[in-house]
Structure 1
């Protein structure tokens, strides 16, 4: 079994609360990322852990051509994402369930990929030994969200960890948002944080924030803005941007062009709840606009 990208992470039963609006939806980095990678025509597999009764929630992945390898466990992960101000980037995240940490035996025997994309959303989801095992199979793209999350007073918060450098040195590509970047580097400026993160191992660092994306690759910065007309699709922003960047890099784009494309696609996603279901033609038109 050979794929372009094998996504490893919990698929989630999320609840979104935005102002007076409340609804449940599938979620997780692998969920949002798979739609982008498939839109780019890449061969995608998802290795996840979830309860059997929740498999129907993710049937759409099969319909778009994703190969799903679920490990059945008693409980599916889930997060309640509360946005007190619909137009604000601030959100409160509360856990609704946990599917347990990944183990080497969760990977299908003989699975191969050009890139292994790990998108943990929960603390304890990707143990260090498991990441080491995956890194022995091929290049790793790592989203540090679940690595840095801690449960504090019922809320998932970001905090530094003593062994975070052990995770970073195993990643070829690394993604963090502005809060996570500060936890990794100790500084608030993304331009200052990126080199400090890269010095710990990652070859390319992708930092997302409310205004756009900053990429550091081969010693050069590449900055591109998000320009959405609304933030109706705020949940999944970073997952979408990172996946778009990774996909275009696998297709041969240099870092600058991959970052530019990722910013445009993420702009479109931010305007609509759920994963990116637009067309590449929409992205092309946006890239061509003033």
Structure 2
């Protein structure tokens, strides 16, 4: 019997991650995964939001918070969930050590076959989680495809640490992508460039029309040959993990009804609020609008 089609304005795709976060202030345990952070952010754009994830049966309750805020979560169970440890040894939030104890099974085209959407955001944690054929399947059913490079350049070493490795399928995958998200470290690895504008221009030359580039101080977007930049302005920095996922989720969802300049402002302000607390953003649309009016005009 054919699967019932699900229609969304925005949908995120990625595995759930059970995160252990270690900083100088202590150790915390958090339900993570780029799919979740980005879906929480997208709901503030007043669009219909879905999320497709893989996790172990014992972790199904991790989706309760998403469901409680109106996100339709589609679960495909895996024998195990992805278990990740994130260590921040210094005050530089872009310096971190990531290790993985286990990984969820990868997605397959049938896991997204019934999804129809205006924008799909692919947010894996590690290479192999979302194969090329899944990106191709999503391309057929979405007007805009967004992709976070972290889950395509990061591989798991024999010691369990995450490391960057050359991306053999980069040209094939990026030819299918409209909005590409990278952080400064990943961008330098992919392009060999150090300066942010040079990184963005080089990434755009690979095919994506818009580049969302996060760094420790803020957000830069390159769209249609124009650059838009704003700083992150959190009152205090308490929630670094999920920064990029929140940023691209808020940008892509806002982009459905706004131009790149407005979407950049929106994403920077929303992410600033998320940085003030651990876990996904819990603020309101009014909070984001108030911060834009006060600090980003």
TM-score range, shorter chain: over 0.9
* Residue matched to 1:160: 166
Establish whether residue 14 from structure 1 lines up as the match of residue 34 from structure 2: no
2:116 to 112, 119, 124: 112
What secondary structure sits across from 2:173 in the alignment?
Answer: helix
1:134 to 134, 138, 146: 138
Establish whether residue 121 from structure 1 lines up as the match of residue 125 from structure 2: yes
Structure 1 unaligned residues grouped into runs of 5+: none
How big is the shift at 1:86?
Answer: 4.8
Establish whether residue 29 from structure 1 lines up as the match of residue 34 from structure 2: yes
What secondary structure sits across from 2:286 in the alignment?
Answer: helix
Task: Determine the C-alpha separation between the residues in 2 that align with 1:113 and 1:125.
Answer: 21
TM-score norm. by structure 2 comes to 0.93
Establish whether residue 191 from structure 1 lines up as the match of residue 197 from structure 2: yes
Equivalent residue runs for 1:48-87 within 5 Å: 48-86=53-91
Equivalent residue runs for 1:1-290 within 5 Å: 1-86=6-91, 88-107=93-112, 109=114, 111-138=115-142, 139-152=144-157, 153-250=159-256, 252-290=257-295
Q: State whether residues 164 and 184 of structure 1, in contact with CA within 8 Å, keep that contact through their aligned partners in structure 2.
A: no
How far does the alpha carbon of each residue in 1:248-282 deviate from its partner, in whole angstroms, 9 at most, with x for none?
Answer: 111x2110111011111111111111111012222
Task: Determine the C-alpha separation between the residues in 2 that align with 1:265 and 1:103.
Answer: 32
What secondary structure sits across from 1:35 in the alignment?
Answer: helix
How far does the alpha carbon of each residue in 1:197-226 deviate from its partner, in whole angstroms, 9 at most, with x for none?
Answer: 111110111000101111010000111111
Task: Determine the C-alpha separation between the residues in 2 that align with 1:76 and 1:92.
Answer: 20
How big is the shift at 1:87?
Answer: 5.6
Aligned residue pair count: 288
Task: Determine the C-alpha separation between the residues in 2 that align with 1:50 and 1:132.
Answer: 22
**Aligned Cα RMSD in Å?**
1.4
